[in-house]
A and B are shown apart, each in its own frame.
Chain A
Amino acid sequence: MLKLENISFEVDSDGTDKEIIKDISLTVPDDKLIVITGPNGGGKSTLAKLIAGIEKPTSGRILLDGTDITDMSVTDRAKAGIGFAFQQPVRFKGIEVFDLIRLATGTKITVSDACEYLSAVGLCAHDYINREVNASLSGGELKRIEIATVLAKGSKFSIFDEPEAGIDLWSFNNLIEVFEGMRSRIKDSSIIIISHQERILNIADEIIVLKDGELLMQGSREDILPKLSGTESAVKGCGKGLPAVNGGAQNG
């Protein structure tokens, strides 16, 4: 179980403190798929970074299975069981796709092991395994490789920041299979997805709505989804992600 207690996060904006996250408390139970949604600029990505340890909260505590991880580094949180897929995947000169997946698993894996992760995200493993993770890859390709690294890491709590962006219609269905596969493979694992996508909201067990840094709503999909349709935030938010077809990804 992942627990956030009274998390606030402020940044310095032109000499004044700006509160990005305002006193948020929430619980992510085991074995759940949680989707965080809400209008742009509402603090969703910041909240994800706070959980992964990339940002440190101004106040409040974060507990993972009862252990206080608030002061833990990114590395220690990763080792404790938190995975994080970047919204904007990072490029590396010289590091190959295989290297990145090998590092993610933390063990000595074979090329065919690594290929399985690539196939799962809809990439033809043979074509990609020895490619450098650099600017020669398209945005969609990088995004899928990013997801493959989180898949390979196999964390108990995995956070995906807008995983569908840049992914085409075919692999969208594939993506949902990836999430389902992760949950079935790792006992009691939970996934947090930041998304505006209606189809991702449709597979959520629970939905959290963030607006202006505040927790607007949290509850089961059945409770929250009807409330979202028609609200300004949902229209704006969901509208942004549709249609899902995007030219960024290539064949696979």
Chain B
Amino acid sequence: MVKLDEIQKRLLTEVADLHTVPEGAYNIRANGESAGRASTANIEIVPRDTKDGLTINIKPGTRNESVHIPVVMSKSGIKETVYNDFHIGEGADITIVAGCGIDNCGVQDSEHDGIHRFYVGKGARVKYVEKHYGSGTGTGKRILNPVTEVYMEEDSSVEMEMVQIKGVDDTTRTTKATLAAGASLVVRERLMTHGEQNAVSIYKVELNGENSSADVVSRSVARDTSYQKFDAVIVGNAPCNGHTECDAIIMDKGRILAVPGLEANDVDAALVHEAAIGKIAGDQIIKLMTLGLTEEEAEEQIINGFLK
């Protein structure tokens, strides 16, 4: 049975919108060990032989099921690297909710590095949601360095929603994807950093098959003295469509570096990148002030909308 303390329960709500044990297959990892696990007829979750993660097997044709694998850490000083492999059978249509919440009230750093590999079968559809959240008053840092690797077979599609809004001090998120013919990848990243936080997002997407497509869009806000780097490369090795976009707001003394990269190795590869960084437009604030909001309230509304 799942036994979680109040802090862990709160973290679980933040990263996976879970108030109780989820329906369907799940594994909840708390302070470095499994606090509960369930498989279903179609989705099998088993520990790796090396005991440093999970293998998740999803049967071909599985429809409308979900897998939750949240991680919560409420002890200071834990550092772990976890490997989770997802094998998604042909024609399956599933939702996977990951996410990590760290509460660090101590002086030692807490770090969770999740290495997720997705092997997506022909025609399978995956919606993947990954939220990162940090809290706690300790001086120990909350560190997350996720690596996501996606191997997509023909005509498969993956939609990834990556969210980090609060409390993570240091993160390097690396996402790599290779796409076969007809496969489609959509990434929506939402990021807000504050204080002295540091966040790096690296994407490398290889479009190897005919009519494959990728759309990688990041919306971010950097406040205080935080720093962000968005480094997105799309490589077109076949007739394909690729689009990457970084749309960012800087505030205070925040800094953002956007490094969009495109590499076309086929004459029919159509690749586009867009990047825009700037402060909140003054007329947006003034418009909301004419409706009676203070400058601070106006900024908050504008950012909330931007990151929605």
Instruction: Known A74-B286, A103-B301; judge A93-B292 contact (CB<8 A).
Output: no
One of A79-87, A113-121, A204-212 at the interface? A79-87
Tell me which residues across on chain A come within 8 A of B306, comparing CB atoms: 93-94
Q: How many A-B residue pairs have CB under 8 A?
A: 58
A106 pairs with B286, CB closer than 8 A: no
Instruction: Known A90-B283, A93-B247; judge A83-B305 contact (CB<8 A).
Output: no
> What is the bound-complex CA distance between A84 and B286, given in angstroms?
10
B308 pairs with A90, CB closer than 8 A: no
- Answer whether residue B295 sits at the interface, using C-beta atoms and an 8 A cutoff: yes
Per-residue contact bits, chain B 281-308, to A (CB 8 Å; 1 contact, 0 not)? 1011011111111110000011011111
By CB atoms of chain A within 10 A, which of B284, B291, B293, B305 has the most? Answer: B291
- Answer whether residue A170 sits at the interface, using C-beta atoms and an 8 A cutoff: no
A78 pairs with B302, CB closer than 8 A: no
- Answer whether residue A153 sits at the interface, using C-beta atoms and an 8 A cutoff: yes
Closest Cβ neighbor of A146 among chain B residues: B287
> What is the bound-complex CA distance between A62 and B308, given in angstroms?
40
| Chain B contact residue count (CB 8 A cutoff) | 22
A86 pairs with B287, CB closer than 8 A: yes
> What is the bound-complex CA distance between A75 and B287, given in angstroms?
10
A99 pairs with B292, CB closer than 8 A: no
A75 pairs with B301, CB closer than 8 A: no
Tell me which residues across on chain A come within 8 A of B301, comparing CB atoms: 95, 99, 103
B287 pairs with A90, CB closer than 8 A: yes
- Answer whether residue A54 sits at the interface, using C-beta atoms and an 8 A cutoff: yes
- Answer whether residue A129 sits at the interface, using C-beta atoms and an 8 A cutoff: no
- Answer whether residue A234 sits at the interface, using C-beta atoms and an 8 A cutoff: no
Q: How far is the CB of A92 from chain B (nearest CB, A)?
A: 6
B305 pairs with A94, CB closer than 8 A: yes
A104 pairs with B305, CB closer than 8 A: no
Q: How far is the CB of B301 from chain A (nearest CB, A)?
A: 7
Specify which of A52, A92, A99 is in contact with B284 (CB 8 Å cutoff).
Answer: A92
- CB neighbors of A among B260-284 (8 A): 281, 283-284
B290 pairs with A83, CB closer than 8 A: yes
> What is the bound-complex CA distance between A90 and B287, given in angstroms?
7
By CB atoms of chain B within 10 A, which of A73, A84, A93 has the most? Answer: A93
Per-residue contact bits, chain A 62-74, to B (CB 8 Å; 1 contact, 0 not)? 0000000000011
Closest Cβ neighbor of A99 among chain B residues: B305
> What is the bound-complex CA distance between A79 and B219, given in angstroms?
33
> What is the bound-complex CA distance between A76 and B73, given in angstroms?
45
Closest Cβ neighbor of A106 among chain B residues: B292
By CB atoms of chain A within 10 A, which of B288, B301, B306 has the most? Answer: B288
Specify which of B281, B293, B304, B307 is in contact with A90 (CB 8 Å cutoff).
Answer: B281
A75 pairs with B289, CB closer than 8 A: yes
A78 pairs with B291, CB closer than 8 A: yes
Tell me which residues across on chain A come within 8 A of B289, comparing CB atoms: 73-75, 78
Tell me which residues across on chain A come within 8 A of B290, comparing CB atoms: 52, 54, 74, 78, 82-84
Instruction: Known A94-B306, A94-B307, A94-B308; judge A78-B287 contact (CB<8 A).
Output: no
Per-residue contact bits, chain B 59-93, to A (CB 8 Å; 1 contact, 0 not)? 00000000000000000000000000000000000
- Answer whether residue A46 sits at the interface, using C-beta atoms and an 8 A cutoff: no
> What is the bound-complex CA distance between A120 and B46, given in angstroms?
60
Tell me which residues across on chain A come within 8 A of B304, comparing CB atoms: 94
- CB neighbors of B among A92-110 (8 A): 92-96, 99-100, 103-104, 106
Q: How far is the CB of A85 from chain B (nearest CB, A)?
A: 9
- Answer whether residue A149 sits at the interface, using C-beta atoms and an 8 A cutoff: yes
Instruction: Known A92-B284, A92-B302, A99-B301; judge A104-B291 contact (CB<8 A).
Output: yes
Per-residue contact bits, chain B 17-50, to A (CB 8 Å; 1 contact, 0 not)? 0000000000000000000000000000000000
Q: How far is the CB of A107 from chain B (nearest CB, A)?
A: 11
Closest Cβ neighbor of B291 among chain A residues: A104
> What is the bound-complex CA distance between A84 and B290, given in angstroms?
6
Tell me which residues across on chain B come within 8 A of A100, comparing CB atoms: 291
> What is the bound-complex CA distance between A99 and B284, given in angstroms?
14
Tell me which residues across on chain B come within 8 A of A104, comparing CB atoms: 291
Q: How far is the CB of A67 from chain B (nearest CB, A)?
A: 17
Q: How far is the CB of B111 from chain A (nearest CB, A)?
A: 32
- CB neighbors of A among B204-247 (8 A): 219, 247
Tell me which residues across on chain A come within 8 A of B302, comparing CB atoms: 92, 95
- Beyond A79-B292, A99-B301, 15 additional contacts (C-beta under 8 Å) are A54-B290, A73-B289, A74-B289, A75-B289, A75-B294, A84-B290, A90-B286, A92-B284, A93-B306, A94-B304, A94-B306, A100-B291, A103-B288, A103-B293, A103-B301
Chain B positions near chain A (C-beta within 8 angstroms): 219, 247, 281, 283-284, 286-295, 301-302, 304-308
Chain A positions near chain B (C-beta within 8 angstroms): 52, 54, 73-75, 78-79, 82-84, 86, 89-90, 92-96, 99-100, 103-104, 106, 149, 153
